[in-house]
Structure 1
């Protein structure tokens, strides 16, 4: 069974109290701005606050394993690397992570990253459970999170005078992300395990598989390699994944490939043979058949419809 092979999660469901001997930090968050070409490797120190980094174009940040981090682009895409995966973090997305992470704004983008070890999160959060229950996933950035993190950076620079306000902003960021993951928590009863803790461990492992598929984009799915990430057979992984998410890993990968193809077909002028190759199809014919079966129209019709809709929107804007 899946739950029998799961190791301890990289962050616990509840944080342990900070040692009483730790001197209280000036505020809940310390802020640093990283300039072009600067690489920062933060490390834990006794009594430390959470760390909020703003990376400008060319800045790099390497977060230690086991730290909980919240990262989001401010402009442009950010290159992200963790363990065996590397992928672009697009604008409008937010990454909650609990393992080692490397952020690189070499492409000209800028980013914000709030991170720290368990002790720092426990000390800074009024509602530590909201942070502890966050799943490590990439998703659309909830409304207000980017603005609150930017405001948090300004408040944290004020030191002790604004510590209370900074704590409130931090709590709101965690609560917003916690609420955005409500649908995932609703799936916990479907996960294998007799206790909620075991079910959470199972969900964490399934999310690792889900992320590996999503970050692979057009790459061919290798079930044995995915199953190896959580130490189970490919057949067992498919059954559990289907039971929890309502689709197999292969179905999920195929759906993502077609969604990627739809974005390329409607938002770019890329030739359809190149779209097919980018989406991982062997040839344009098989791509067009799958596309039409999924969306009820050919890639050419989808592109024409998008162009017509865009034209109507432009006319309406000029007429108003």
Structure 2
């Protein structure tokens, strides 16, 4: 197996296409210090930030990754990836055929999603990346090392196995397919924190009927798609409130709430205090505000 390698540094901008003869060959990418890579092909990709930060934008939306975080995108994403000024980012791009084989693998399935890699896992992945980039690597050794790399990447998603078993479907392959579709929706929600996507839009992305989609989503994640969207947008709003660069009313608008009243009401329900009090105390909400019922009970 021939593996394509690609690296960018110091603001270099590149595009990834599949030239003739490379359609079914994985590509290893390494981006550093402001380099960008646009993938203009139908290919799945997984990205791991070793240091600094990175920004990704694709059909799922926009994502910001910090050191140690990883993100796996499906082949429809067509992402553009930008490494931060002091960043080092690793990427593995898998053509459609390779992704299909991986999805059916008994040992190393990968699903759309994001998470965090421990320092030891990051070091092991970096060693595998470097070995696969050796110019004189024998094809048989390349296959073995790539399989090891994929297993190490799959271990980052060990917590997905119980969720896959909860998905509807008579076969493991079918349950994995349903899980992958729902994970794409979760990424889409996270990538669009500036608005609340309609349920019909989300069901279409999962290639499911609205009724089946809501039922499967709630059974898997324990909440409705709209509740998940509101929770994610409120979590973002809390970060923006503490950031202080936006007025409270601007934070609500930036997180897809119709007006300041609905934002303040939702924020208080989630965090126990209005956003202004949350900002005043730097997120360290006093017990008198966070649990007013308990305080009244003690006073009585």
User: TM-score band, normalised by the shorter chain?
Assistant: 0.7 to 0.9
Which residue in 1 is equivalent to 2:227?
251
What is the CA-CA distance between 1:256 and the residue it aligns to?
0.4
* Alignment partner of 1:88 out of 63, 68, 89: 63
Any idea what SS the aligned residue of 2:21 has?
Answer: coil
SS in 2 for 1:152: helix
4+ runs deviating over 4 angstroms: 46-49, 106-110, 118-123, 160-173
**Is 1:60 the counterpart of 2:37 in the alignment?**
yes
TM-score normalised to structure 1 length: 0.71
Cα deviation, 1:286-309, whole Å, max 9, x if unaligned, reads: 222211211122323333333779
Instruction: Give the paired residue count.
Output: 276
Whether the 8 Å contact between 1:61 and 1:104 is mirrored in structure 2 is yes
Residue 105 of structure 1 pairs with residue 53 of structure 2: no
In structure 1, stretches of 5+ residues that fail to align are: 1-23, 310-320
Question: Corresponding residue for 1:32?
Answer: 6
Q: Does 1:70 align with 2:57?
A: no
Distance 1:262 1:241, change over 3 A: same
Bigger drift between 244-253 and 173-182 goes to 173-182
Q: Distance in 2 between matches of 1:153 and 1:33?
A: 12
Query: Does 1:277 pair with 2:253?
Result: yes
In structure 1, the partner of 2:184 is 208
Measure how far apart 1:171 and its partner are: 5.5
Alpha carbons of structure 1 residues 232 and 149: separation in structure 2 relative to 1, 3 Å: closer
| Residues 185/63 of structure 1: CA separation in 2 closer, same or farther (3 Å cut) | farther
- Kindly provide the CA deviation profile for residues 157-207 of structure 1, in whole angstroms up to 9, marking residues without a partner as x: 434469999878755653444233233220223222222222122112222
SS of structure 1 residue aligned to 2:46? strand
> 1:263 pairs with 230, 239, 251, which one?
239
Displacement of 1:37 in angstroms is 2.6
The CA RMSD measured in Å over matched residues stands at: 3.5
Matched, 1:116 2:94: yes
Q: Greater RCO between the two (CA within 8 Å, min separation 6)? A: 1
Stretches of structure 2 lacking an aligned partner (at least 5 in a row): 286-300
